[in-house]
Amino acid sequence: MNFQVVETVISKHSLIIPFITKDLEKKLIVLIEQFALPPALLSDFKAGADEVIALYTHTHATIEKIILLGLGESFSAQSLQKSMRLLVNKQKEKLGQNVVIDLGKIYPQDAATNEDEISKCVESCVSGALLATYNIGKFKTKDNPPSSFPENYTFVLPKNLHETAQDAIRKGEILASTQQHIFDLVNLPVNHLNSLQLAEFAENAGKEYNFSVRVLHLEEIKNLGMGGLIAINQGSDTPATFIIMEYKPVTDKPLKKIGLVGKGVTFDTGGISIKDSDGMWQMKCDMAGAATVIGTVEAVARLQLPVHLIGIVPSTDNMINGKAICPGDIVHTYSGLTIEIEDTDAEGRVILADGLAYLHKNFEPDVMIDLATLTGACVVSLGYHAAGLFTHNDELAAQLSKAGEQTNERVWRLPLWDDYDKYIKSDMGDVKNFGGRPAGAITAAKFLEKFVNKHTAWAHLDIAGVAFGDSAFSNARSATGYGLRLLVAYIENGIKSSV
Cα pseudo-dihedral 261, 267, 269, 271, rounded to 10:
-50
Task: Using only the alpha carbons of the chain, give its radius of gyration.
Answer: 24
Q: State the amino acid at position 299 in one-letter form.
A: A
Taking 3-state DSSP, the helix, strand and coil percentages for the chain, each rounded to the nearest 5, stand at: 40, 20, 40
Please state, as a whole number, how many other Cβ atoms lie within 10 Å of the Cβ of residue 138: 9
Please state, as a whole number, how many other Cβ atoms lie within 10 Å of the Cβ of residue 362: 12
CA dist., res. 27 & res. 106, Å (int): 10
> Alpha carbon 469 to chain centroid distance?
12
Please say whether the beta carbons of 213 and 220 come within 8 A: no
349 flagged as catalytic: yes
Of 377, 364, 358, 389, give the one whose Cα is nearest residue 451: 358
Q: State the amino acid at position 220 in one-letter form.
A: E
CA dist., res. 487 & res. 187, Å (int): 21
CA dist., res. 105 & res. 121, Å (int): 11
CA dist., res. 187 & res. 181, Å (int): 10
- 376: DSSP letter: H
- 275: DSSP letter: P
CA dist., res. 59 & res. 270, Å (int): 64
Question: How many residues would you count in the chain?
Answer: 499
- 145: DSSP letter: P
CA dist., res. 188 & res. 420, Å (int): 36
Please say whether the beta carbons of 387 and 411 come within 8 A: yes
Out of 82, 263, 349, 432, pick the active-site residue: 349
How far CA 170 is from CA of 118, 182, 274, in Å, comes to 14, 19, 45
485 flagged as catalytic: no
Out of 27, 222, 275, 477, pick the active-site residue: 275
> Alpha carbon 496 to chain centroid distance?
21
Active site amino acids: 275, 349
